[in-house]
Structure 1
């Protein structure tokens, strides 16, 4: 009467390579789509304890958009471990700085589960600030996030 529950084995996982152009995309909306793809929740064969998500390449990370006044007001904290060692930087300072791709990486990282599996899935994310990437050999298929929903993209 009922079918058997399917559980994917590590050997059965087929990973695709996706290329996303982040130019003009809203950070949070981009991050939710990327996190879902990294986890593999878009697949009917999703298994919570197995890394069956895709590999995602994000280019033009320096051209992402934050809505409202978040660019000036959003603050990223990091703690050195020492007394009084909490440091803070605004999103604007990071996006205008040397590694603007960290805004996208942090947004996705905080949407993935904590623990060994989450770290492994985050390893399948490659983010580059410019339009170039060294993964042409993987022949990634272009994934248009802006086309999914008109709210996903904005002009800066």
Structure 2
């Protein structure tokens, strides 16, 4: 029996809607990564991008467990001398409400060309409204 592989033109991409209110960032990121990579599909193939779109609303209200809001730090290095800086999760949430969830999802994707395409299908919105009503996103259960 011959193995059939999905063709790029035949891949049907669905849209999913996720409400991030009071959900732990890491656990939610795992679910989102699974959809972005297409791991739940029967025609999943590691070298072919079969993932779907994910629209996340209320991403500013994602939960961090314990005292991570004050203690978790995000590092940045510019490449210059004295260019290293650390920022707490509370500061990042204040400046960019989507960053915490985006960073968690990006860290869980593989480090290759596919992940750069997959992260573009993640749509994050800090509030309850999003402009993707025409795509009719299905709520993720």
TM range (shorter): over 0.9
1:94-105 equivalence runs, <5 A = 94-95=92-93, 97-105=94-102
TM-score normalised by length of structure 2: 0.96
Residue 131, structure 1, aligned to residue 121, structure 2: no
Q: CA deviation at 1:47?
A: 1.1
* Structure 2 counterpart of 1:24, from 15, 22, 30: 22
Alpha-carbon separation, structure 2, partners of 1:18 and 1:115: 24
CA displacement, residues 66-105 of structure 1 (integer Å, 9 cap, x when unaligned): 111111111001111112211111111112x131111100
Q: Which runs of 4+ in 1 moved over 2 A?
A: 3-6
**Structure in which a larger fraction of residues adopt helix:** 2
3-state DSSP class of the match of 1:42?
coil
Give the Å deviation of 1:11.
1.3
Query: Unaligned stretches of 5+ in structure 2?
Result: none
| Aligned-partner Cα distance in 1 for 2:66–2:133 | 35
Aligned pair 1:142/2:111, yes or no? Answer: no
Name the counterpart of 2:46: 48
1:148 alignment counterpart: none
Q: Distance in 2 between matches of 1:94 and 1:117?
A: 27
2:55 alignment partner in structure 1: 57
- Structure 1: runs of 5 or more not aligned: 145-156
Alpha-carbon offset, residue 29 of structure 1: 0.2
Structure 2 distance, partners of 1:127, 1:54, is: 14
Q: How many residues align?
A: 141
Report SS of the residue matched to 1:34: helix
For the residue of structure 1 that corresponds to 2:42, the secondary structure is: coil
When normalised by structure 1's length, the TM-score is: 0.87
Task: Report the CA distance between 1:113 and its aligned residue.
Answer: 1.1
